[in-house]
Amino acid sequence: MNVKLAALGAAIVVVGLVLVDSLYTVGQNEQALVLQFGEVVKIESEPGLKFKLPVVQNVQFYEKRVLDVDPPVEQVILSDQRRLDVGSYARYRIADPLLFFQSVRNEQIAGTRINSFVNNALRNVLGNYNQLDVLSEQRGPIMRSIRDSVEANAKPLGIEIVDVRIVRADVPEGTVQSVYDRMKSEREREAAQYRAQGQEYSLQIKSRADRDVTVLLADAERKAQELRGQGDAEAIKVQAEAYGADPQFFSFYRSLQAYQNALGSTGTTLVLSPKGDFFKYFNDATGRGLVPAVTQQTPAGADPASSAPETPAPAAPAPETPAQPAPAAPASPG
C-alpha cells in the first residue's frame, strides 16, 4: 500500500515537472525561438502561454522593444585634417529573430557589432566634411548618411537601426590650445584684411573729396575773378563816364582823396614843399597851384610895378606848437 502511494506520488511529480517544462510564457515585449537540439523549429512573436516538447526543446527569448547602444568616444580626422572626439549612440530593434540568432546569437554580441558599424560610419562619413559642416545645418544630412551606412551593415544580422546620433563633437584636449591659436591668428588676419580694405576705401573717399574741393575752389575762384573783372570794368566805365562829364571836378575829387590818404590823421608831421602838381588844389580850388616868390632886387630905372615881387600864396599852415613860457627874470640881489 505504501509502495503504491509512493509510486503514485512520484508519477505525479514527474508529470508536474513534464508539464512545467512543456509550458512557457511569451511576454508582451518579447519574441521567442523554440530550439530543438540547437535548431530553430518555431518562432513565437505573439504574447501568451505557449507549449513545447519537454526536455528536448528549449526557448530563446529576445526583446521586441527598441534597444540602445552607446559606443565609446571615437577620434575622427575631418577633411580639413582636424581631429574631433565624437561621442554617439544608436537605437536598434531585432526585426528578424531567426536571422539575429543565426548571426549574433545574443544582444551583447549584437551591441559589439553595432559599435564597430557606428565607428566605421563616423570615420567614413565625417572624413568628407570639415568642422564647420559638422557644427552647422548640414549636421542633419550627415547624420542620415551615418544612419544609412550603419543600417546597411546591420540589416544582414536581422537588426533594424532606428536612429544614430552624435552626442558630442569636441576638440581633443591636446590640441585645444593649438586650435585656439589658429583661430586667433585667422581672426587677426581677417581683421587686418578688413582694416586694410577700410583704409583703402578711406583714402579713395578722401582723394575724391580733395579733388572735388579743388575743382569747386577753382570754379569759385574763376567765377570770383570774372565777377571782380566785371566789377572793375563797370567801375572804370562809371569813372570814365564821370571824368568825361566834368574832367575838372573829377581831377579835384581825386586830389581830395589823395590828400585824405596822404595827410590823414596819422599823428605824423610832414615837411613838404608846396610846389608841384600834388598841391595844386591845396589853396586854390581852380587848380592853378602856387607861384614861387622872386627874391632878386629891382634894377635902377626899372618900373617898380613891373619889378615888384609877386606875392606868394600862403603856405600850408604849420602845425601849431604850444607856447613856451617866458623865462623868469633873475631876482635882484638884496
pLDDT band at 289 (very low <50, low <70, confident <90, very high): low
CB contact at 8 A, 126 and 84: yes
pLDDT tens digits for 241-281? Answer: 877 777 777 777 777 777 777 776 667 676 777 676 777 77
Instruction: Determine how many CB atoms are found less than 10 A away from the CB of residue 226.
Output: 10
Residue whose C-alpha is closest to residue 106's, from 33, 25, 29: 33
pLDDT beyond 60 at 297: no
Q: Please name each of the domains of the chain with its CATH number.
A: 2-62 (no CATH), 67-170 (3.30.479.30)
What is the dihedral angle through the alpha carbons of 90, 96, 101, 103, rounded to the nearest 10 degrees?
A: -70
pLDDT tens digits for 53-73? Answer: 887 888 999 999 999 999 988
Task: Please give the mean pLDDT across all residues of the chain.
Answer: 79
Count CA within 13 A, CB hemisphere, residue 288.
Answer: 6
Query: What pLDDT, on the 0 to 100 scale, is given for residue 322?
Result: 38
- Which residues, in sequence order, are bridge partners of residue 58? 35
Instruction: Determine how many CB atoms are found less than 10 A away from the CB of residue 191.
Output: 10
Q: What is the mean pLDDT of residues 94-114?
A: 92
pLDDT tens digits for 27-52? Answer: 889 999 999 888 888 888 889 888 88
> b/e string for 143-177 if b means 16 or more Cβ within 10 A?
bebbbebbbebbeebbbebeebebeebebeeeeee
The residue to which cell 565625417 is assigned: 126
Query: What pLDDT, on the 0 to 100 scale, is given for residue 196?
Result: 94
CB contact at 8 A, 316 and 276: no
* Confidence (pTM): 0.51
Cα–Cα distance measured from residue 78 to residue 168, given in angstroms and rounded to the nearest whole number: 15
Q: What is the mean pLDDT of residues 184-208?
A: 93
pLDDT band at 1 (very low <50, low <70, confident <90, very high): low
Query: What pLDDT, on the 0 to 100 scale, is given for residue 317?
Result: 41
Q: What is the mean pLDDT of residues 198-217?
A: 93
